[in-house]
Amino acid sequence: MSKEQLHQIVEALQPELKKLSDYLYDNPELGLKEFKSSKAHVEFLRKHGFKVEYPYLDFETAFRATFDSGKPGPTVAYLSEYDALPEIGHGCGHNMLGTVDTGAGIALSKVLSETGGRVVVLGTPAEETDGIKVDMAKADTFDDIDVAICSHPSDKNEVSGDSLAMDAIKFEFFGKTAHAAGAPWEGKNALDAVINLFNGINAMRQQMKPTARVHGIISDGGLAANVIPDYTAAEFYVRAPKKAEKEALLERVIACAQAAAQAAGCTMKHSFYEKSYDDMVTNQVLSRLFNQNALDLGVEMIENEGDTIGSLDTGNVSQVVPAIHPYYDITEGKPLAKHTVEFRDCTKTDFGYQAMYRTVEILARTGYDVLADTDKLQAIKVEFDETFSR
């Protein structure tokens, strides 16, 4: 047995990998409703000898699958996602994402008798909305895990980078109704409050760092033009490269909402309508292992270009355990945004399938390195401790 044998192992898994990715493509399910999708992953893992807790942490579509060599050693975890988007199905390619990470866990399990240790595949629902990785990072899920790996389909082979810390905040304004023509002076206009909020935030942009993002919608703007609205609501995402910076920005946004309410004679309440995502902190030692394994299979990983644009729930994981989140090209390098029909359909092309098989092998090889080389794992841990003791 050796690392090279992973090639034959993945080759043998190819029909099952393709079947799983295609099945999910044909059966897209929204976050926390991934019943068929999670079941298909669990069946695949059980078939290959994994012990599976399903449901996991009280989430019906989450699971934790373990393959234990029975010999001492580290634990490598792969994070599987399988949620889709409204209307366009797997526009983010999570049909392939989950297949790759589950497949890597299965491939690695086949050489575990040689390396010792354990491999865990975590089924992590609702990445697009209310990421369950956030709950897993808060619970004891990663206490006995040494590294966590997730990889995402993309339009380039890009190294694991960073992602924005994010809050999803909702503001509600409460006023008083009045006839908008008959006696408007008797009203307290909650629509004015929400418009003030947008104007306040827009004025603040000049004093915001260019890397920060605040973007929102009016989710409730009143019911009829002849009634002064007594209730309005707006939803915002507030993002910044680091958690502390995001917290400071959030305080300023809340202050804008307070002032907006006051100016309109209304009251205001805020709440968080989705979970907060922490920024992604890539473990560079682990990332270099992945990049080298990619290169060994002929894939050159490129550095991130430009600013970080999105937020990931793997960010929260990366704050409790050494983690990476690299990207692999499924579009033949053609620039294509995620969350589109075009990107979705790249998961059904020959090029996409080849990228899928290759990435399964790269991920499994990276896991192998962690299990087989104690010095490498030690270096990963030293970096993690140094990063978070600062």
Which residues contribute to the site for Zn ion (CB under 5 A)? 92
Q: What is the DSSP letter of 56?
A: B
Report the nearest approach of Zn ion to the CB of residue 240 (Å): 20
Owner of token pair 């369950």: 132
- Cross-strand partners of 149: 78, 324
Omega before 184 cis (within 30°)?
Answer: no
For residue 224, give every residue at least 6 positions away whose Cβ sits within 8 Å of its Cβ, in sequence order, or none.
none
Report the nearest approach of Zn ion to the CB of residue 85 (Å): 7
d(CA 104, CA 112) in angstroms, rounded, equals: 12
Q: For Zn ion, which is the closer residue by CB, 66 or 314?
A: 314
Nearest residue to 351 (alpha-carbon basis) of 366, 340, 336: 336
Report the nearest approach of Zn ion to the CB of residue 258 (Å): 33
Q: For Zn ion, which is the closer residue by CB, 92 or 260?
A: 92
Owner of token pair 């999670």: 38
Q: For Zn ion, which is the closer residue by CB, 92 or 266?
A: 92
For residue 244, give every residue at least 6 positions away whose Cβ sits within 8 Å of its Cβ, in sequence order, or none.
none
d(CA 376, CA 369) in angstroms, rounded, equals: 8
- Cross-strand partners of 238: 167, 214
Report the nearest approach of Zn ion to the CB of residue 201 (Å): 25
Report the nearest approach of Zn ion to the CB of residue 152 (Å): 6
Q: For Zn ion, which is the closer residue by CB, 95 or 196?
A: 95
- Cross-strand partners of 78: 121, 149
- Structure tokens given for 47: 């078939």
The angle that helices 243-263 and 190-204 make with each other, rounded to 10 degrees, is: 140
Q: For Zn ion, which is the closer residue by CB, 95 or 319?
A: 95
Q: For Zn ion, which is the closer residue by CB, 191 or 336?
A: 336
Q: For Zn ion, which is the closer residue by CB, 45 or 97?
A: 97
Report the nearest approach of Zn ion to the CB of residue 373 (Å): 30
d(CA 312, CA 278) in angstroms, rounded, equals: 8
Report the nearest approach of Zn ion to the CB of residue 348 (Å): 17
181 SS3 class: coil
Q: For Zn ion, which is the closer residue by CB, 97 or 191?
A: 97
Q: Report the residue closest to Zn ion, judged by CB.
A: 92
Report the nearest approach of Zn ion to the CB of residue 314 (Å): 10
239 SS3 class: strand
